[in-house]
A and B are shown apart, each in its own frame.
Chain A
Amino acid sequence: MGDIVGGRFELIDVLDGGGSGTVWRAWDHRDRTYVAAKVLRTGDSDSLIRFIREAKRVVQHPHTLAPRNWTGEDDRVLFTMELVRGGSVATLLGDFGALPEGWVIELAGQAADALVAVHAAGFAHRDVKPSNLLLDATGRERPRLRLGDFGTAAAFDAPRLTMANAVLGTPGYLSPEAYRGADPAPAQDLFALGVVMRQMLAGNAPPESRGRDGLVASDELLTLVDEMLADDPTARPGSAYEVLNRLQDLSGAGSLEHGADPTDPVEVFDHVPPLPAEWGETGPFARSASAHPATSPTHNDPDTVVLNREPEPEPTPALPKLVQEHPTRSRPDVPIAAWLLLIAGIVLLALAIALA
């Protein structure tokens, strides 16, 4: 039997090892359901915890995928959320290349709808990109997009100090002003969404691509994308709400078939692999009742978004080795000590030459 985190979540297998952390499939022994679980180091989790606390409406929005629970253990925090099965817009672009205009309008509209809620809650998402736009496995039906990964979300009123000297986000999706270190603002998310919309129309173009060459779409949609990609944030649409309205006013809105090839329909597959042998739709197959943790005490209130901050009363087993390994894999940190040494050397050299 696998390790159980927080007296409740049993980690089963790794669904996604990339991005900003390992995502596991886990069994929730209390609610008896499968969830996705993500492990972050305590230091990386503070902003996400603030976000979950303050933006409950966003957490419950139909087009977001934010953690519903978090549980701290040692120096790590486990976040759990609904298990979304359809991959992401990045997967969709890999499978299909450029998407029909009707799909682009639909997906962009759902993302804009999510951003309306995020911005209304006082946050900027700051990492809108194809791999963070997750999808339910809806097959050839109308898709359902979920804006995910709120790990870099920042409150508009967050103290400037905590963000000094660090630009977060993904190259190619960063607005010019965000790249220069501007305070978080809705216009930066609209720029990133504009990049995604252009990519959905272009297929596999790098996010830095600009211009209309090779894009098959109506003039109105291309104009909207151009405006969202304006270097000057004040030249972009005024809000996510405005983007949503303009998308809904387009002639292709509401019709997925618009611009589609009927012989090659877009399809959102189920990307979650089959359960391991010892697991079934209703959870783990028979095992000894004494090991079942469902009766362990909990402070959670089942009717609210649960913020399980207090330590569990019983000692819980350590996370599996794999979980512990990932967060310690260090990011390529800037070798500051090496730079300081180099600069000291340069200064000495300069002085020596100047004095000579």
Chain B
Amino acid sequence: MSDNPESPAERNRAEQARLYGAPLVDVVNELTDTFGISRAQLARVLGLSAPMISQLASGNRLKIGNPSAVQRLQRMMQLAPEVRTRRMDAAAALADVESEATGKVLTRTTAALRHDGATNVQDVLRWAASADELAGAADLLATDYPALAEVLRVYGNGRTRDAVEHFRQVSGG
């Protein structure tokens, strides 16, 4: 039925050729072939779901709605000749495409931000010296060891909120 030139799927494929340069079934097959990946992997790189890729390839759906997926698809199509002629490694090309993947933030996993680290540092410093002593030590260090002085100030007698923020930046959390 899908071979019937009057079918909606066939019309969609013709329209896809106008929008994307070729029917998406051809684009998808060429990209999975060139980059040596499955359709599911291609979907992940583009930020689309696997069912969406099959719907587009079958012509049941016409357009890629998500503009950033379109961008990544265009980037892959740009890089495909480089990969085919071995001027570029497939893995490196995929990394290039994914580095532009803004959609990643949507799937970022739940993280536990812990105050433990910052408050432990505070506890140790405040066990060793009073707030005045820590401020004095920070002053002594400030000229020659500014980063150390900052640590003494932030954890020694700064606010917990600032200590937590400092700790987050330092630990990359």
Contacts and interface: CB of A to CB of B under 8 A. Distances in A.
B91 interface: no
A170 B113 CA distance: 9
SS class, residues of chain B in contact with chain A: helix
B102 A204 contact: yes
B12 to A, nearest CB: 10
A20 B109 contact: yes
B84 interface: no
Contacts of A334: 114, 116-117, 171, 173
A354 B55 CA distance: 71
B113 A171 contact: yes
A269 B61 CA distance: 12
A95 B111 contact: no
Contact of B111 (A170, A264, A339, A340): A170
B141 interface: yes
Contacts of B114: 165-167, 334
Contacts of B113: 166-169, 171, 174, 179
Query: Most chain-A CB neighbours within 10 Å: which of B66, B110, B121, B129?
Result: B110
A19 B107 CA distance: 8
B1 interface: no
A93 B129 contact: no
Contacts of A90: 106-107
A336 B136 CA distance: 26
Interface in A178-235: 179-181, 199, 203-204, 206-207
Contacts of A152: 110
A331 B152 CA distance: 28
Given A91-B49, A152-B110, A167 B62 contact: no
B59 interface: no
B103 interface: yes
A206 B104 CA distance: 9
B130 interface: no
Interface in A82-133: 87, 90-91, 93-97, 127, 129-131
B69 interface: yes
B20 to A, nearest CB: 14
A208 B121 CA distance: 29
SS class, residues of chain A in contact with chain B: loop
Given A94-B49, A166-B114, A347 B106 contact: no
- Range, interface on chain B: 35 or more
Contacts of A207: 105
Given A19-B109, A97-B67, A206-B105, A270 B51 contact: yes
A265 B115 CA distance: 45
A102 B140 CA distance: 63
Contact of A269 (B52, B63, B125, B155): B52
A353 interface: yes
B17 interface: no
Contacts of A340: 120, 124
A346 interface: yes
B65 interface: yes
Contact of B110 (A20, A199, A339): A20
B161 to A, nearest CB: 6
A97 B66 contact: yes
A166 B115 contact: yes
A172 interface: yes
Contact of B51 (A93, A204, A271): A271
Interface in B127-150: 128-129, 136-137, 140-141, 144-145, 148
A339 B65 contact: no
The 4 closest A-B pairs by CB, nearest first: A269-B51, A97-B66, A96-B65, A334-B117
11 contacts: A19-B109, A94-B66, A96-B66, A152-B110, A165-B115, A170-B109, A174-B113, A263-B62, A334-B117, A340-B120, A350-B137
